[in-house]
Amino acid sequence: MMAWNVFKFCTVLRGLGSIMILLVLGVVGVTYYSVVVTNYGPALLDGGLHSLLSAVVLILFHCLLVMLLWSYFSVVLTDPGSVPPNWRPTVDEERGEADPLNDSEFNGLQSDSSNQRIRYCRKCNQLKPPRCHHCSVCGWCVLKMDHHCVWVVNCVGAQNYKYFLLFLFYTFLETSLVTLALLSNFLTFFSDEEFPGTSGTLATTFISFVLNLAFALSVLGFLIMHISLVTANTTTIEAYEKKTTPKWRYDLGRKKNFEQVF
């Protein structure tokens, strides 16, 4: 019985493309309708403390929404970092030694799989810098590749990792705000109290609350994980692949590791 090749699934991931973007925008649209149009927008006309609270919620909601969408599309549209054509190191980056290769030796490198000093990608047919990995979904090598994210339809690498972290951060804040803002209306669903609105608006509020609560909890886990990766100057792939060593070679200290990403 032949083992299943997981990389065949990459063609399916390529096909998701705009579907995932539309899904994200759909969740944002449903949430916007529940918070602004159905609940807190009309409450602005009530007057008093309730109106002031609604104004505060709506201001925070729109500010976080703008930052969320900006960071999201920055991850989607920013090149994660590709290897320049015919790139070749002048120094052995992996060991910090002078590169002894000349043209004839470089030609021999392609056939000598035992040479591990300088990494070579057989799919791209070119040398790979340190911390660079080939993405089977995108079809090219990505600098300091962290992972391929289906939600942003792009690889997360050296040049867009900052935007990815900001996207997680603002998504967590936005979904947490929505969860708290809709909590009282969600509890009304299970009580005998009369809900101000139609059954359709009640169902939309219920769905928005559940979606945002689920995203808030899941994104919190990812955010904590990536913060720990940033403080150690490592990626998801490296954290999985690297062996336990007394000191990670790229760890510059928490402050410099953070500055390197941002």
Residue 246 banded pLDDT, cuts 50, 70, 90: low
Mean pLDDT rounded to a whole number for the chain: 81
Q: Which of 124, 133, 126 is nearest to 109 (CA)?
A: 126
Cα 89 to Cα 113: distance, rounded to the nearest angstrom: 18
> Looking at residue 20, what is its pLDDT?
84
**Distance (Å, rounded) from C-alpha 70 to C-alpha 67?**
5
- pLDDT, one tens digit per residue, over 155-195 is 999 999 999 999 999 999 999 999 999 988 777 766 666 65
Q: Which of 193-207, 229-243, 248-262 has the lowest mean pLDDT?
A: 193-207
Q: Among positive and negative, which fits the CA dihedral 86, 91, 96, 97?
A: positive
pLDDT over 60 (residue 12): no
The token duo for 138 is 């995108």
Q: Which range has the top average pLDDT, 57-66, 119-128, 138-147, 236-245?
A: 57-66
The answer to whether residue 125 scores a pLDDT higher than 70 is yes
Distance CA 35, CA 159 (A): 34
- Is there a contact between 205 and 30 (Cβ–Cβ < 8 Å)? no
Q: What are residue 148's DSSP bridge partners?
A: 155
2 DSSP assignment: P
Residue located via tokens 């899941």: 218
In this predicted model, what pLDDT tens digit does every residue of 81-124 receive, in sequence order? 988 887 887 765 555 444 434 333 344 344 333 444 678 888 88
* Terminal Cα-to-Cα distance of the chain (whole angstroms): 48
For 97-106, 122-131, 146-155, 211-220, which range has the lowest pLDDT when averaged over its residues?
Answer: 97-106
Task: Check if the beta carbon of residue 97 is closer than 8 Å to that of residue 204.
Answer: no
Q: How far apart are CA 170 and CA 255, in angstroms?
A: 22
CA distance 204 to 27: 11
Q: CA 118, CA 130: separation in Å to the nearest integer?
A: 8
pTM (predicted TM-score): 0.81
Place of tokens 């703008």: 66
* Residues that are catalytic: 149
Per-residue model confidence as pLDDT tens digits over 16-50? 667 888 889 999 999 999 999 988 888 888 777 87
pLDDT of residue 73: 95
pLDDT at 116 (0 to 100): 47
**Cβ(165)–Cβ(261) under 8 Å?**
yes
Across the range 212-222, mean pLDDT stands at: 95
| Helical spans, DSSP H, in 44-100 | 48-77
pLDDT at residue number 194: 62
